[in-house]
Amino acid sequence: MSAAGVDSARTDARILLAHAMGVTREDLIAATRQPTADEAALFVSFVARRVVREPVAYIRGRREFWSLDFKVGPGVLVPRPETESLIEQALAAIPDRNAALSIADLGAGSGALLVAALKEFPHARGRGFECSPEAFAYAEANLVRHGLAARGRIIAADWNKADGPFDLILSNPPYIPSADIEGLDPEVRLFEPCAALDGGTDGLDAYRALAGLLPRLLRPGGIVLLELGLGQAEQVEPLFQGLTVVRVAPDLTGISRVLVLQASK
């Protein structure tokens, strides 16, 4: 895999071998047995897929987010660690974990944000809006997987169909400028859905659409958390004239990652 340009070849090989053997990576390190012939053949097939730069998450069919396990695969964006910053900011903005919130996830993808938010706010109810049939299927499956079907629902529709009012809105919109897509890592450029990445000429198309939509979706005092791309905060903030900018919060690497907005009370 190193010859194919995979920087994490050794780590990926261990993860894929553990997956082929049906054990955790930690169990693999402690294991004394060798893989069976079938397991070895499965591992070889996994490596072949990784060599052409298919994401490990797609090969395994799962990805961890907020210490929760999510089903993922072709057609859905792989949840990223930096997106966990939206959940951190939700907890900071709404310290009452028992609040009976109404939550929306606009562009739900795998459903990671909605599921994590509903887990953190056990008395909340929420809806995710996702227009991609492939992503919708994963989001719906993940909601059921985490036992949240009674409190959450994934709606197969564009976020323009959202009908509020909501106390908390989360969104990780497409924000990469179109011209930058070609320069992304092959794992992203060749395999992940372009619609979930491409934010138009300047990367701000989705934010412009949300600026016109969000004010009518929020309850008075409602909170919005939007993921930002690198260096976009100063360009995005002025778009939301109908809402108050509470803060721009960094992710763990120090990048300005989350725009926190609030409706007038």
Buried b (16+ CB within 10 A) or exposed e, 95-125: eeeeeebbbbbbbbbbbbbbbbbbbebeebb
Q: Assess whether 254 and 201 both reside in one domain.
A: yes
pLDDT, one tens digit per residue, over 60-91 is 999 999 999 999 999 999 999 999 999 999 99
pLDDT, one tens digit per residue, over 16-52 is 988 998 877 666 666 667 889 999 999 999 999 999 9
Give the SS3 label for residue 7: coil
Q: Assess whether 102 and 228 both reside in one domain.
A: yes
Structural domain includes residue 196: yes
CB neighbourhood size of 60 (10 A): 17
Q: Assess whether 81 and 181 both reside in one domain.
A: yes
Q: Which CATH number covers residue 181?
A: 3.40.50.150
Give this prediction's pTM: 0.93
pLDDT, one tens digit per residue, over 110-143 is 999 999 999 999 999 999 999 999 999 999 999 9
The candidate with the shortest Cα–Cα distance to 116, out of 92, 95, 85, is 85
Q: Assess whether 186 and 222 both reside in one domain.
A: yes
Domain around 192: 63-262
Find out whether 135 and 193 touch, Cβ atoms under 8 Å. yes
